[in-house]
Chains A and B, each alone.
Chain A
């Protein structure tokens, strides 16, 4: 079974802190994604990566950056956390050219 893991299920940070969210997949997937999930808004794509060191902006990249130094790991970085970044963050991965995405359990981030 494909496994996508995220470093934390719950995280509480202060405004202005630098925050790292980690995602690891064990199926050698080329594609990895970071989504943000908010009530009434569904999932919105923040960034995605289709190869090591490659990244593309999604629909809402402002305030975020990403890093993919190894194929299995995709990090989401909040350079200076703000309260409007309080949300559920979901990581996903997929094979190149195949439609099915596999999701991690999510990290619920609260910025106070």
Chain B
């Protein structure tokens, strides 16, 4: 069975600084996706960034980038130039590719606070 571990329950960062959220996972599958989802306070969960396991290049989306280390089964999220709107719960998630149902396995989340 796959597991996803986020070892940092809470983090804080000053506005405009850079912060890295950690995620490790365990799987015997070779084809999978990894995701970071963001859930702002009292708002909808949205996808931040996605990484296909077969791609060596790390995904980037504007100020968000990942450090994907497949051998180490590590998938960290880096947020550059942090903004107040980045304050949210962040969830790392795993999806086995090829499963038609596509159910995600989530970590327990990291609560990020961006301070002015």
Which residues does A use to contact B, with CB under 8 Å?
31, 33, 35, 40-45, 48, 50, 56, 58, 90, 92, 94, 96-101, 103-106
B residues less than 8 Å from A50 (CB atoms): 100-101
Q: Are A96 and B100 in contact (CB under 8 A)?
A: yes
Counting CB contacts under 8 A, is B103 at the interface? yes
In chain B, positions 31-65 with a C-beta closer than 8 Å to chain A are 33, 35, 37, 43-47, 50
Q: Are A101 and B104 in contact (CB under 8 A)?
A: yes
B residues less than 8 Å from A100 (CB atoms): 47, 50
- Write 22 A-B pairs (CB below 8 A) sorted by A numbering: A31-B101, A31-B102, A40-B9, A42-B6, A42-B107, A42-B109, A43-B106, A45-B104, A48-B101, A50-B101, A56-B101, A58-B103, A92-B45, A97-B102, A99-B102, A100-B50, A101-B47, A103-B45, A103-B46, A104-B44, A105-B44, A106-B45
Q: Are A105 and B91 in contact (CB under 8 A)?
A: no
Most buried by A among B43, B101, B106: B101
Q: Are A99 and B50 in contact (CB under 8 A)?
A: yes
Q: Are A45 and B103 in contact (CB under 8 A)?
A: yes
In the assembly, what is the distance between CA of A45 and CA of B97, in Å?
Answer: 17
Which residues does B use to contact A, with CB under 8 Å?
6, 9, 33, 35, 37, 43-47, 50, 91, 95, 97, 100-104, 106-109
In the assembly, what is the distance between CA of A41 and CA of B89, in Å?
Answer: 12
Q: Are A42 and B50 in contact (CB under 8 A)?
A: no
Question: A42 touches which one: B44, B95, B100, B106 (CB < 8 A)?
Answer: B106
In the assembly, what is the distance between CA of A40 and CA of B8, in Å?
Answer: 11
B residues less than 8 Å from A90 (CB atoms): 45
Closest to B93 in A: A43
Closest to B109 in A: A42
A residues less than 8 Å from B106 (CB atoms): 35, 42-44
Q: Are B103 and A48 in contact (CB under 8 A)?
A: yes
A residues less than 8 Å from B107 (CB atoms): 42
Known pairs A43-B91, A50-B101. 18 more at Cβ < 8 A? Answer: A31-B101, A33-B104, A35-B106, A41-B108, A42-B107, A42-B108, A43-B106, A45-B104, A50-B100, A58-B103, A97-B100, A97-B102, A98-B102, A99-B33, A101-B47, A103-B45, A103-B46, A105-B44
